[in-house]
C-alpha cells in the first residue's frame, strides 16, 4: 500500500511542476528592465525572464 502512495505522490509532484500547456504565453507590450520608473506599472512576463515588464500608464481623458 505504501508503494501506491509513493507512486501517487511522485506523480502529483511531477504534475504540479510542469507548466500547463493551455495557458497562453504573455509577452511584454512595454520594455524589459530591472526596475520600472515612477509612472510605470510592473508585470511579469515570459519574454522578460527575471526582469520586469514596464508599462506606461495612459492618461484617461
- Asked if the structure places residue 36 within a domain, the reply is yes
Reported in sequence order, the residue ranges of the chain that DSSP labels E, i.e. its strands, are 31-33, 40-43, 52-56
The bridge status of strand 31-33 relative to strand 40-43 is unpaired
| Beta carbons of 53 and 28 less than 8 angstroms apart | yes
Sorting pLDDT into bands at 50, 70 and 90, what band is 4?
Answer: very high
pLDDT of res. 7: 92
User: What is the domain range of residue 35?
Assistant: 27-51
pLDDT at 32 over 70: yes
Using only C-alpha atoms, the chain has a radius of gyration, in whole angstroms, of 19
- Asked if the structure places residue 42 within a domain, the reply is yes
Burial class of residue 53 (count of CB atoms within 10 Å of its CB; 0-12, 13-18, 19+): buried
- Asked if the structure places residue 35 within a domain, the reply is yes
**pLDDT tens by residue, 37-49:** 888 888 888 888 8
- Asked if the structure places residue 46 within a domain, the reply is yes
Amino acid at each position: 500500500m505504501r508503494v501506491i502512495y509513493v507512486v501517487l505522490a511522485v506523480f502529483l509532484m511531477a504534475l504540479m511542476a510542469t507548466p500547463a500547456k493551455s495557458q497562453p504565453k504573455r509577452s511584454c507590450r512595454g520594455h524589459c528592465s530591472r526596475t520600472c520608473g515612477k509612472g510605470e506599472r510592473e508585470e511579469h512576463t515570459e519574454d522578460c525572464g527575471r526582469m520586469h515588464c514596464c508599462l506606461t500608464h495612459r492618461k484617461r481623458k
